[in-house]
Amino acid sequence: MSRFFTLILTIVFSSIATSSNAQAAIIALLFGDKVASEKFNISMELGGNFSQFSNVSDVDEFNLDLNFGIAGNIMLSKHWFVSPGAYFISRRKFGFDNYSLSTGNTALDAQYVNRKADFFMDFIDVPVLVYYQPSNIKWRFGLGPQVSFLKNSRITVEGDEGDFVQDYSDNVNNTDYGVIGSIGYSIGEARKGKGLYLQARYYQGFSDMLLEADGTNLNSYFSIHVSLPFITDELAEKNLKKKK
């Protein structure tokens, strides 16, 4: 993947985020290889997640939505690595088959009774993963804490006269925290020796997210994504030589 194509990808996905987040991601991509060494590099993280809630009935779970961000990769020793990250876009999405609007406006609510609806939560996720990679294999195994900060939440309800979008941010906990685990597979020859990681992750939150719902509503998700590390041409050349 060329630098130009990578930059275009970043601009497209970053346009969904706030301008400051977009600027941080673009700066990381432009200068990531300039600060790279054998023990440190920055990577772009791009993929999707499938979310669910505990103790929520009549909800269509495991809807796919986007996650995007950057991560640092710090080599502690031959087998141990630390990877702090910031996912500027991390969305959770759930569908309802029979949702009734409740705004207090009788005429409006009457138009949206037992309708299909989508519930969205937009977060900034900050995971810190510790990875272990055994000798002579391409797999990495990671575990660590994650804190998620809510940007906004909304419900979009389908209607005959058009969809109704209701802000739901006041009814959602502003912060989620939990544990995230990761399994990654390295394709070191990709991108002319700069490599990429295919990752599968599972997150379990510990915060009660829906403030007015019954029971304790814990959020969890399964995600799959690609990590694109940015390293120097010299390091990429070394990676290719190791494979010969």
What does the alpha-carbon distance between residue 188 and residue 12 come to, in Å, rounded to a whole number? Answer: 26
Q: 204 vs 214, which has greater pLDDT?
A: 204
pLDDT band per the 50, 70, 90 thresholds, residue 10: very low
Contacts of 136 (CB under 8 A, 6+ apart): none
- Residue 124: its pLDDT value, please? 93
CB atoms within 10 A of CB 210: 21
Average pLDDT, the chain: 83
Through-space distance between the first and last CA atoms of the chain, rounded to whole angstroms: 21
Contact residues for 142 (Cβ-Cβ < 8 A; gap 6+): 83, 129, 130, 131, 132, 181, 182, 183, 184
* Token duo for residue 16: 């969904």
Tens-digit pLDDT profile for residues 103-139: 888 988 899 999 989 999 999 999 999 999 998 788 9
pLDDT band at 11 (very low <50, low <70, confident <90, very high): very low
Tokens of 32: 């990531």
CB neighbours of residue 169 within 10 Å: 13
**Burial (0-12, 13-18, 19+ Cβ within 10 Å), 123:** buried
The predicted structure's pLDDT at residue 4: 44
Q: Of 33 and 220, which is predicted with more confidence?
A: 220
Q: Which residue has the higher pLDDT, 31 or 189?
A: 189
Question: Does the structure show a pLDDT above 80 at 1?
Answer: no
Q: How far apart (Å, rounded) are the C-alpha atoms in residues 200 and 142?
A: 10
Across residues 145-151, what is the average pLDDT?
95
> Domain boundaries in the chain?
3-243
Assess whether pLDDT exceeds 90 at residue 32. no
Domain 3-243 in CATH 2.60.40.420? no
pLDDT of res. 65: 86
Q: Which amino acid, residue 9?
A: L
- The answer for residues whose C-beta is within 8 angstroms of residue 53's C-beta and 6 or more apart is 59, 61, 94, 209, 210, 217, 218, 219
Q: Which pLDDT belongs to residue 7?
A: 47
Mean pLDDT of 211-233: 86
**Orientation angle between helical segments 3-14 and 19-31, nearest 10 degrees:** 170
SS3 of the chain: helix, strand, coil, percent, to 5: 20, 50, 25
pLDDT at 2 over 50: no
